Amino acid sequence: METSALSLATADLRAARRHAIICVLSASATFTVGSALVKALTVDFPVLEIVLFRSVVGFVAMLPMLLRHGRLISALATRRPLGQAMRTFYGFIGTVTAVYGYSALPLVTVTALGFAMPLFLVILSVPLLGERVGPRRASAVLVGLSGVLVMLRPWHVDADALPPGAVLIVLAGVVTWALSMISIRRMGEAGERNETIVAWYSLGTAVLAGLGCIGHWVTPSPWQFATLVSAGLLSGIAQLVMTEGYRSGETTLVAPFEYGAILYATTLGIAIWGEWPDAWSLIGIVVLIGSGLYIWRREVTLGIRR
């Protein structure tokens, strides 16, 4: 009986892990498809209008969850209004720069640069959170930043070189995303509810983007409207599926599968826009992913020891 129960528990664990891995891989793919739609939309629409649609669709999709916890007003009640404002502002800048990046850079480049966020998070956590960074993590950050340099090749000045202005804008947005994560961590430690943080961000981003659209609105056709809504829905679905993946499996197991987005972005970039990454780009991406995985592993290990 004990052997049978142990076998059943093992089978359940394996099934849960498979479910978690499939969820994370599916979420990464869904998010990448949504990003590809955004890239396609940047040809005809201002960046802020795309951000507005994504934010409004995301907020509407969240309404059932918010209303489940009571009235909408109570869901938006916060004890940290300044923290919410800072998180919303940083997240808004990060979103706007990413959408701009899709219009100016290859899909896989913007995707890969997004994975540099943990590097900047480690750097910023020292002055802003008072955390200590040991020599191993510091070395991993330096290696990761060198991977970014290899991928971007600032010494490469011919016609195929990446536009430096666009690269700097996207990197600045990655830094603000790291600042956004620090704001979330501070509010979480202060007891702020997760749904309140997400609601403030979605609603605040919609308001900021809406103000920016004044005088720059482009009325979409029915097909374009459906595409704008689809991009927002795919982003929301990806977040829900990713959450399910992390809920179902250990972080140590599922986190590395997020990097599947690099493969998906490369495939879509080649298939749709003919964006073939060269050898330097591939080397830089591999170095960046390797350093990110090492930092992630160190964080998990230190967290377990704590």
Model confidence pLDDT, tens digit, residues 180-194: 888 888 887 787 877
Instruction: Compare 74 and 292 and report the one with higher pLDDT.
Output: 292
Residues 6+ positions from 243 with CB-CB distance below 8 Å:
none
pTM score, whole prediction: 0.85
CA distance 137 to 238: 30
Model confidence pLDDT, tens digit, residues 69-127: 566 666 677 888 888 899 899 999 999 999 999 999 999 999 999 888 888 888 888 88
Under a CB-based contact definition with an 8 Å cutoff, are residues 299 and 121 in contact? no
Q: Can you tell me the mean pLDDT for 187-209? A: 83
Taking the domains of the chain in order of start, what are their residue ranges? 29-305
Backbone angles phi, psi at 7, to 5 degrees: -65, -40
CA distance 134 to 291: 15
Torsion angle of C-alpha atoms 15, 26, 263, 247, degrees rounded to 10: -60
Angle, CA 175 vertex, CA 45 and CA 138 arms, to 5°: 150
Cα separations in angstroms, 230 against 37, 57, 61: 8, 9, 12
Cα separations in angstroms, 148 against 48, 113, 145, 247, 283: 27, 7, 5, 31, 10
Q: At what angle do helices 107-114 and 135-152 cross, to 10 degrees?
A: 170
CA distance 207 to 210: 5
Under a CB-based contact definition with an 8 Å cutoff, are residues 108 and 261 in contact? no
CA distance 198 to 264: 26
Instruction: Compare 4 and 166 and report the one with higher pLDDT.
Output: 166
In this structure, the number of other CB atoms found within 10 A of the CB of residue 27 comes to: 25
CA distance 265 to 275: 10
Model confidence pLDDT, tens digit, residues 113-163: 988 888 888 888 888 878 777 788 788 888 888 888 888 776 666 656 778
